[in-house]
Structure 1
Amino acid sequence: MTPHNELRLLPWSGPDGKPCYLSTDNSDSHLSRLADNTEEIQLGLAADLVTHTLEVLSGEGPQTEELRRLSADLAEALKDVLRVAASRGHRLTARDLSTREEDDEGPRLPAAAFG
Protein backbone atom coordinates (compact mmCIF):
# COMPACT_ATOMS: atom_id res chain seq x y z
CA MET A 1 0.00 0.00 0.00
CA THR A 2 1.33 3.43 -0.89
CA PRO A 3 1.60 6.01 1.86
CA HIS A 4 -1.31 8.43 2.03
CA ASN A 5 -0.40 12.02 1.28
CA GLU A 6 -3.30 13.39 -0.78
CA LEU A 7 -6.94 14.21 -0.21
CA ARG A 8 -9.41 12.78 -2.68
CA LEU A 9 -11.89 15.21 -4.20
CA LEU A 10 -15.27 13.52 -3.90
CA PRO A 11 -17.81 13.63 -6.75
CA TRP A 12 -20.34 15.64 -4.75
CA SER A 13 -20.48 18.94 -2.92
CA GLY A 14 -21.43 19.70 0.65
CA PRO A 15 -24.74 21.36 1.55
CA ASP A 16 -23.08 24.77 1.19
CA GLY A 17 -21.79 23.93 -2.31
CA LYS A 18 -18.19 23.59 -1.19
CA PRO A 19 -16.08 20.62 -2.37
CA CYS A 20 -15.89 17.51 -0.19
CA TYR A 21 -12.66 15.60 0.32
CA LEU A 22 -11.78 12.16 1.64
CA SER A 23 -8.63 11.42 3.59
CA THR A 24 -7.87 7.70 3.61
CA ASP A 25 -5.17 5.31 2.52
CA ASN A 26 -7.76 2.57 1.93
CA SER A 27 -9.05 2.78 -1.66
CA ASP A 28 -11.47 -0.06 -0.84
CA SER A 29 -13.20 1.68 2.07
CA HIS A 30 -16.97 2.11 2.00
CA LEU A 31 -16.73 5.82 1.20
CA SER A 32 -14.07 5.24 -1.49
CA ARG A 33 -16.28 2.64 -3.18
CA LEU A 34 -19.30 4.97 -2.91
CA ALA A 35 -17.27 7.74 -4.57
CA ASP A 36 -16.10 5.36 -7.32
CA ASN A 37 -19.67 4.23 -7.99
CA THR A 38 -20.95 7.82 -8.01
CA GLU A 39 -18.25 8.82 -10.50
CA GLU A 40 -19.21 5.93 -12.78
CA ILE A 41 -22.90 6.93 -12.61
CA GLN A 42 -22.04 10.56 -13.38
CA LEU A 43 -19.88 9.58 -16.36
CA GLY A 44 -22.57 7.22 -17.67
CA LEU A 45 -25.29 9.85 -17.36
CA ALA A 46 -23.07 12.37 -19.17
CA ALA A 47 -22.48 9.90 -22.02
CA ASP A 48 -26.22 9.21 -22.29
CA LEU A 49 -26.93 12.95 -22.31
CA VAL A 50 -24.44 13.53 -25.14
CA THR A 51 -26.11 10.76 -27.18
CA HIS A 52 -29.55 12.25 -26.52
CA THR A 53 -28.34 15.75 -27.42
CA LEU A 54 -26.92 14.55 -30.73
CA GLU A 55 -30.24 12.84 -31.53
CA VAL A 56 -32.18 16.01 -30.74
CA LEU A 57 -29.85 18.19 -32.81
CA SER A 58 -30.07 15.86 -35.80
CA GLY A 59 -33.87 15.94 -35.71
CA GLU A 60 -36.36 18.42 -37.13
CA GLY A 61 -35.64 21.85 -35.62
CA PRO A 62 -35.58 21.41 -31.84
CA GLN A 63 -37.67 23.88 -29.87
CA THR A 64 -36.02 26.75 -27.99
CA GLU A 65 -37.16 25.44 -24.60
CA GLU A 66 -35.80 21.97 -25.39
CA LEU A 67 -32.43 23.46 -26.35
CA ARG A 68 -32.42 25.57 -23.20
CA ARG A 69 -33.03 22.46 -21.03
CA LEU A 70 -30.39 20.44 -22.92
CA SER A 71 -27.88 23.26 -22.44
CA ALA A 72 -28.53 23.35 -18.70
CA ASP A 73 -28.27 19.55 -18.44
CA LEU A 74 -25.06 19.49 -20.49
CA ALA A 75 -23.51 22.22 -18.33
CA GLU A 76 -24.35 20.26 -15.17
CA ALA A 77 -22.98 17.03 -16.65
CA LEU A 78 -19.80 18.80 -17.78
CA LYS A 79 -19.33 20.17 -14.27
CA ASP A 80 -19.59 16.61 -12.87
CA VAL A 81 -17.22 15.19 -15.50
CA LEU A 82 -14.65 17.92 -14.81
CA ARG A 83 -14.82 17.17 -11.08
CA VAL A 84 -14.25 13.45 -11.79
CA ALA A 85 -11.34 14.30 -14.09
CA ALA A 86 -9.77 16.60 -11.50
CA SER A 87 -10.16 13.99 -8.77
CA ARG A 88 -8.69 11.20 -10.88
CA GLY A 89 -5.92 13.45 -12.16
CA HIS A 90 -4.87 14.39 -8.62
CA ARG A 91 -4.80 10.73 -7.60
CA LEU A 92 -2.70 9.82 -10.66
CA THR A 93 -0.25 12.58 -9.87
CA ALA A 94 0.15 11.43 -6.30
CA ARG A 95 0.43 7.73 -7.09
CA ASP A 96 1.80 7.16 -10.54
CA LEU A 97 4.02 10.08 -11.47
CA SER A 98 6.44 9.42 -8.63
CA THR A 99 7.19 5.96 -10.06
CA ARG A 100 7.24 7.00 -13.71
CA GLU A 101 10.54 6.76 -15.54
CA GLU A 102 11.81 9.94 -17.16
CA ASP A 103 11.92 8.48 -20.68
CA ASP A 104 8.40 7.05 -20.38
CA GLU A 105 6.13 8.80 -22.87
CA GLY A 106 2.95 7.46 -21.28
CA PRO A 107 0.41 5.03 -22.66
CA ARG A 108 0.52 4.20 -26.35
CA LEU A 109 -2.76 3.58 -28.10
CA PRO A 110 -3.34 2.24 -31.61
CA ALA A 111 -4.72 4.71 -34.14
CA ALA A 112 -8.01 2.77 -34.16
CA ALA A 113 -8.60 3.87 -30.56
CA PHE A 114 -9.24 7.40 -31.82
CA GLY A 115 -12.02 6.44 -34.21
Structure 2
Amino acid sequence: MYTFDIEECRLTLPPQISEDFDLSQIMYEVPMSIVKDGTVERGSIPEFIRFYNAMLSGEPHGYFEMKKRKKDGTCCWYSAKYSMIYDKRIRFVFFIRHILIRKSENQMLHDSR
Protein backbone atom coordinates (compact mmCIF):
# COMPACT_ATOMS: atom_id res chain seq x y z
CA MET A 1 0.00 0.00 0.00
CA TYR A 2 1.21 3.48 -0.88
CA THR A 3 0.25 6.62 1.05
CA PHE A 4 0.28 10.14 -0.37
CA ASP A 5 0.11 13.21 1.89
CA ILE A 6 -1.18 16.09 -0.21
CA GLU A 7 -0.07 18.82 2.19
CA GLU A 8 3.57 17.78 1.83
CA CYS A 9 3.35 16.11 -1.62
CA ARG A 10 4.98 13.18 0.17
CA LEU A 11 4.65 9.62 -1.09
CA THR A 12 5.51 6.63 1.09
CA LEU A 13 6.27 3.52 -0.94
CA PRO A 14 6.21 -0.11 0.16
CA PRO A 15 9.77 -1.36 0.86
CA GLN A 16 9.79 -3.85 -2.03
CA ILE A 17 8.68 -1.20 -4.53
CA SER A 18 11.36 1.14 -3.26
CA GLU A 19 13.91 -1.62 -3.90
CA ASP A 20 12.53 -2.72 -7.30
CA PHE A 21 12.53 0.81 -8.72
CA ASP A 22 15.59 2.11 -6.85
CA LEU A 23 13.56 4.90 -5.24
CA SER A 24 13.65 6.30 -1.73
CA GLN A 25 10.89 4.82 0.44
CA ILE A 26 9.73 8.36 1.24
CA MET A 27 9.61 10.78 -1.67
CA TYR A 28 8.80 14.48 -1.71
CA GLU A 29 7.65 16.83 -4.48
CA VAL A 30 5.63 14.02 -6.02
CA PRO A 31 4.72 13.57 -8.87
CA MET A 32 7.53 15.57 -10.49
CA SER A 33 10.33 14.01 -8.44
CA ILE A 34 9.35 10.57 -9.78
CA VAL A 35 9.02 11.88 -13.34
CA LYS A 36 12.49 13.46 -13.12
CA ASP A 37 13.88 10.18 -11.77
CA GLY A 38 12.97 8.51 -15.08
CA THR A 39 10.95 5.67 -13.57
CA VAL A 40 7.76 6.49 -15.50
CA GLU A 41 7.93 5.77 -19.23
CA ARG A 42 7.56 8.89 -21.39
CA GLY A 43 4.18 7.88 -22.84
CA SER A 44 2.72 7.39 -19.35
CA ILE A 45 3.89 10.72 -17.89
CA PRO A 46 0.76 12.80 -18.72
CA GLU A 47 -1.55 10.21 -17.15
CA PHE A 48 0.79 9.82 -14.16
CA ILE A 49 0.72 13.58 -13.49
CA ARG A 50 -3.06 13.69 -13.99
CA PHE A 51 -3.43 10.91 -11.38
CA TYR A 52 -1.55 12.93 -8.74
CA ASN A 53 -3.21 16.22 -9.73
CA ALA A 54 -6.59 14.57 -9.14
CA MET A 55 -5.53 13.73 -5.58
CA LEU A 56 -4.12 17.23 -5.06
CA SER A 57 -7.41 18.76 -6.21
CA GLY A 58 -9.39 16.61 -3.75
CA GLU A 59 -10.94 14.01 -6.05
CA PRO A 60 -11.96 11.24 -3.60
CA HIS A 61 -11.23 8.29 -5.94
CA GLY A 62 -9.14 7.70 -9.04
CA TYR A 63 -7.61 5.12 -11.38
CA PHE A 64 -4.95 5.02 -14.07
CA GLU A 65 -2.55 2.75 -15.94
CA MET A 66 1.12 3.41 -16.56
CA LYS A 67 4.30 1.88 -17.82
CA LYS A 68 7.22 2.02 -15.39
CA ARG A 69 10.89 1.10 -15.65
CA LYS A 70 12.49 -1.00 -12.90
CA LYS A 71 16.10 -0.51 -11.82
CA ASP A 72 17.10 -3.59 -13.87
CA GLY A 73 15.83 -1.80 -17.01
CA THR A 74 12.71 -3.91 -17.58
CA CYS A 75 9.45 -2.09 -18.25
CA CYS A 76 6.10 -3.26 -16.92
CA TRP A 77 2.50 -2.06 -17.04
CA TYR A 78 0.77 -1.25 -13.76
CA SER A 79 -2.64 -0.02 -12.73
CA ALA A 80 -3.24 2.19 -9.71
CA LYS A 81 -6.45 2.92 -7.82
CA TYR A 82 -6.69 5.40 -4.95
CA SER A 83 -9.16 6.41 -2.25
CA MET A 84 -9.10 9.40 0.08
CA ILE A 85 -8.74 8.88 3.84
CA TYR A 86 -10.30 11.52 6.04
CA ASP A 87 -8.25 11.86 9.20
CA LYS A 88 -6.24 14.67 10.80
CA ARG A 89 -4.39 15.16 7.53
CA ILE A 90 -5.87 14.59 4.13
CA ARG A 91 -4.17 11.49 2.82
CA PHE A 92 -4.73 9.06 0.02
CA VAL A 93 -3.96 5.39 -0.06
CA PHE A 94 -3.58 3.45 -3.24
CA PHE A 95 -2.63 0.09 -4.55
CA ILE A 96 -0.72 -0.68 -7.69
CA ARG A 97 -0.90 -4.00 -9.46
CA HIS A 98 1.05 -5.48 -12.32
CA ILE A 99 -1.08 -5.73 -15.48
CA LEU A 100 1.46 -6.83 -18.10
CA ILE A 101 -0.47 -9.99 -19.00
CA ARG A 102 -3.70 -8.08 -19.67
CA LYS A 103 -1.86 -5.38 -21.63
CA SER A 104 -0.05 -8.03 -23.70
CA GLU A 105 -3.32 -9.80 -24.51
CA ASN A 106 -4.94 -6.50 -25.54
CA GLN A 107 -1.95 -5.64 -27.75
CA MET A 108 -2.04 -9.07 -29.43
CA LEU A 109 -5.75 -8.64 -30.12
CA HIS A 110 -5.15 -5.16 -31.54
CA ASP A 111 -2.25 -6.39 -33.72
CA SER A 112 -4.34 -9.25 -35.14
CA ARG A 113 -6.90 -6.82 -36.58
Give me the TM-score of the superposition, normalised by structure 2.
0.24
Q: Which has the higher helix share?
A: 1
Q: Which has the higher strand share?
A: 2
Using CA pairs below 8 Å that are at least 6 residues apart, which structure has the higher relative contact order? 1
Q: Which structure has the larger Rg?
A: 1
